[in-house]
Structure 1
Amino acid sequence: MDIREIQNLIKFVAKSGATEVKLEMDDFKITIKTTAEGAETTYVQQVPMAAMPQMPVAAAPAPVAAAPVAVTPVAETPADDTSKYVTVKSPMIGTFYRKPAPDKPMFVEVGSSIGKGDTLCVIEAMKLFNEIESEVSGKIVKILVDDASPVEFDQPLFLVDPS
Structure 2
Amino acid sequence: MNIADVKDLMAQFDASSLREFSFKTPEGELSFSKNEQAAEPSAPVQVPAISAVAQAPVSETIPVNISEEVSNDTSAIEGEEVVSPLVGVAYLAPSPDKPAFVSVGDAVKKGQTLLIIEAMKVMNEVPAPHDGIVTEILVDNEEIVEFGQGLVRIK
TM-score band, normalised by the shorter chain?
0.5 to 0.7
In 2, the alpha carbon distance for the partners of 1:95 and 1:112 equals 23
The size of the alignment, in residue pairs, is: 96
Deviations 1:46-99 (Å, cap 9, x if unpaired)?
xxxxxxxxxxxxxxxxxxxxxxxxxxxxxxx52222565100110000000000
Q: Which runs of 5+ in 2 are unaligned?
A: 1-18, 24-31, 38-69
5+ unaligned residues in a row in structure 1: which ranges? 1-22, 34-76
Q: Which amino acid aligns with 1:155?
A: Q
Q: Which amino acid aligns with 1:78?
A: S
* Conserved 8 A contact 2:78-2:153: no
Paired letter, 2:103: E
Consecutive aligned runs of 4 or more in structure 1 exceeding 4 Å deviation: 26-33
1:126 aligns with 2:120: yes
1:17-96 map, 5 Å: 24-25=20-21, 77-79=70-72, 80-81=74-75, 84-96=78-90
- Residues 5-54 of structure 1: CA distance to partner in whole angstroms, max 9, x if unpaired? xxxxxxxxxxxxxxxxxx83259968598xxxxxxxxxxxxxxxxxxxxx
Which structure has the larger Rg? 2
Per the normalisation by structure 1, the TM-score is 0.52
TM-score (norm 2): 0.55
Pick from 128, 132, 141 the counterpart of residue 138 of structure 1.
Answer: 132
Instruction: Report the aligned-residue RMSD.
Output: 2.6
